[in-house]
Amino acid sequence: MRVFSGIRASGDKTLGNYSGGFRQYVATQDEAAADGGEAFFCVVDLHSITTPIEPAVLRESTLSVAAWLFAFGLDQQRSTVFVQSQVVAHAEAAWLLGAVSSFGELRRMTQFKEKSEGQEFVSAALFNYPVLMAGDILLYQADVVPIGDDQRQHLELSRTIAERFNLRYGETFVVPRGAYPREGARIRNLQEPDRLMSTSRGAPQGVVRLVDSPDIIRRKFKTAVTDSGREIVHDPEAKPGISNLIEILAVASGESIADIEARYEDHGYGQFKQDVGEAVVELLAPYQQRYAELRADDAELRRMLAVGAQKAATAAQPTLDRMYERMGFAR
């Protein structure tokens, strides 16, 4: 089993990234190790420049996201953790795969529509973003891609691109499948439960950041919007606010949704919200501490990433060479 996933270097990472991203990376790292496979996790800094970002912010958030990857439990002995721009194969693969990706497919991507809407400047890079992502995955012949639900459409396009290349140029890529968490595949903004929890859009008060202090986290949950009625039941259509909080508690505590519903049968919203906040504070505290320790030594962090980049480059090169060869480049 080969695992690949990527996470953008931008903004502050959120509880949503933990749920769909970090915790799944650690779980799949363990599965891959148990299976004698390999796992690759990448800070995708090339993806970060698809929307405006200050150079200083890009530099800082690349190291910050890398530190979070290690803080949550990725282990250099078992996984390859690296920064995308340090492995040039990613940029090359994206260009080559652009030839088997259609304008119509890219134009239909929901994330492109959302991120370009109302913007004065929409970069060509934002449009091509899913092609770069397909290359990330396909270069490593990954079978499994742990992601949240918001990346489902991009993953499906990666599969289409792989199949099309294989058909046109001969079997070259493993066609990957997405791995989505059972609960918390789409954590929503606490103030606007119809929206994904994300730092780029939506009410900031409804976004739990991994760096938030315990008091800020408690306050955000205390003021989370709930729904009409009084029952604490999981019904995303009728009760999006409460259902989101139930999923967050399931993610933070490891309890099932049914157990949570049963436990809170006779409780009101106020107590429930307070408990969810407390569970998140407890969940994050040890990781925040580990993150701070890692950030105290950026030189060591850089060294770890350099090791990862070398391993990743070695793993990606044979596939890139095959792509050039199959497409007919005289090299």
Binding residues for ligand TYM (CB under 6 A) = 4-8, 16-17, 19-21, 44, 47, 133, 136-137, 145, 147-148, 150-151, 154, 185-187, 196-198
Q: Which is nearer to ligand TYM, 137 or 161 (CB)?
A: 137
| Distance (Å, whole) CA 98 – CA 49 | 18
Residue 175, φ and ψ in degrees, nearest 5: -90, 115
Q: Which is nearer to ligand TYM, 144 or 260 (CB)?
A: 144
Q: Which is nearer to ligand TYM, 133 or 162 (CB)?
A: 133
Residue with tokens 């934002």: 126
**Residue 46 Cβ, how far from ligand TYM at the closest point, in Å?**
9
| Distance (Å, whole) CA 35 – CA 30 | 9
| Distance (Å, whole) CA 55 – CA 38 | 32
Measured distance between the N- and C-terminal CA atoms of the chain, rounded to whole angstroms: 32
The residue among 257, 256, 212 whose CA lies nearest residue 233 is 257
Strand arrangement, sheet containing 144-146: 79-83, 38-44, 2-8, 144-146, 177-179
Strands (E), the chain: 2-8, 38-44, 79-83, 144-146, 177-179
Q: Which is nearer to ligand TYM, 193 or 271 (CB)?
A: 193
Secondary element (H or E) of residue 291? helix 269-295
**Residue 187 Cβ, how far from ligand TYM at the closest point, in Å?**
4
**Residue 196 Cβ, how far from ligand TYM at the closest point, in Å?**
5
Amino acid letter for position 282? E
Q: Which is nearer to ligand TYM, 117 or 231 (CB)?
A: 117
**Residue 323 Cβ, how far from ligand TYM at the closest point, in Å?**
17
The residue among 61, 23, 3 whose CA lies nearest residue 287 is 23
Q: Which is nearer to ligand TYM, 208 or 260 (CB)?
A: 208
Q: Which is nearer to ligand TYM, 86 or 151 (CB)?
A: 151
**Residue 109 Cβ, how far from ligand TYM at the closest point, in Å?**
11
**Residue 147 Cβ, how far from ligand TYM at the closest point, in Å?**
4
**Residue 153 Cβ, how far from ligand TYM at the closest point, in Å?**
10
Residue 108, φ and ψ in degrees, nearest 5: -85, -5
